Structure 1
Amino acid sequence: MNNTLQESNIILNVASEDKQSAIRRVGNKLVENGYVEAPYVEGMFAREESMTTYIGNGVAIPHSMPEYVQHIVKSGIVLAQYPDGVDFGNGNVAYLVIGIAGKGEEHMEVLSSIAIVCSEQENVDKLVHATTASEVIEVISQGESL
């Protein structure tokens, strides 16, 4: 997954915004960095409408519905850090919004790698308080090797 998460995919210290804007932000960054075509972002909104992508521990992982996978160019991850959080509804606040797109079989691999790293509150705390993109990559890389 290290090839998937680049410093250019990490957005630090984003001011709090609504859930739709946060999803649009990470989705548009996936488009901007060449991982997906624009329609994939619509699929991210459709996924959120059908079932929340908030996974707990202050983390949301927006991704698309299966019918939008043809818009994935290559696997990618975008991480947006929200020090003041984003309200994902039902009292769930995400401090990390991680947009993902996994090409083919890599989708579940990417999703599960991020979920494993973020299942440890200590890792989430480090990611929320990271001050550089390289710190974020280091935490995720170390978490993957657990």
Structure 2
Amino acid sequence: MTVLTTAQITTSPRATTKEEAIQEAADMLVAAGAVTPDYADAMREREASVSTYMGNLLAIPHGTNESKDSILASALSVARYATPIDWDGNEVRFVIGIAGKDGGHLEILSKIAVVFADEDEVAKLVEAPDAEAIMALLGDVNE
């Protein structure tokens, strides 16, 4: 199952705030055909109840349990920010939007967590020259 393609990775996102970054992540998931446009609202609802900041420069915005009807397929979006986003007082350089069909997001989340738990891997992601290089580092999510 392919949940991430290079088309779903950007190294030149436009957002400068957490709210804009959440919308950008949702828009990428919509463009990938994974979610309906109202998924962005569910992502904002989730963020309002619990921060999706994960540590090591990473935030993983995702929808609420009630939003599963908005999810058409499991997918990720990855945005790497040159200037850190202020995520409730934490610096975030990577915003990974996630949509998991039929509970598939838990396995995907665990694979992302493994990569981001390793500071050397995070450093490689920060330095990666382009979407293809980021894809090479995150490609295990598709297995």
TM normalised by structure 2 equals 0.93
**Displacement after TM superposition at 1:144 (Å):** 8.8
2: CA distance between counterparts of 1:15 and 1:71? 25
Mark the CA change 1:115 to 1:70 in structure 2 (over 3 Å): closer, same or farther: same
Q: Which runs of 5+ in 2 are unaligned?
A: none
2: CA distance between counterparts of 1:126 and 1:16? 22
Which range moved further: 103-112 or 50-59? 103-112
3-state SS in 1 of match to 2:7: helix
- 1:26/1:80 contact within 8 Å kept: yes
**Displacement after TM superposition at 1:51 (Å):** 0.6
Q: Which runs of 5+ in 1 are unaligned?
A: none
TM normalised by structure 1 equals 0.91
The answer as to 2:63 corresponding to 1:93 is no
The answer as to 2:67 corresponding to 1:68 is yes
Identical pairs, percent? 36
Alignment RMSD: 1.8
- 1:61/1:98 contact within 8 Å kept: yes
Task: Provide the residue aligned with 2:8 in structure 1.
Answer: 9
Which of 120, 129, 140 aligns to 2:118? It is: 120
**Displacement after TM superposition at 1:104 (Å):** 0.6
Give the number of aligned pairs: 143
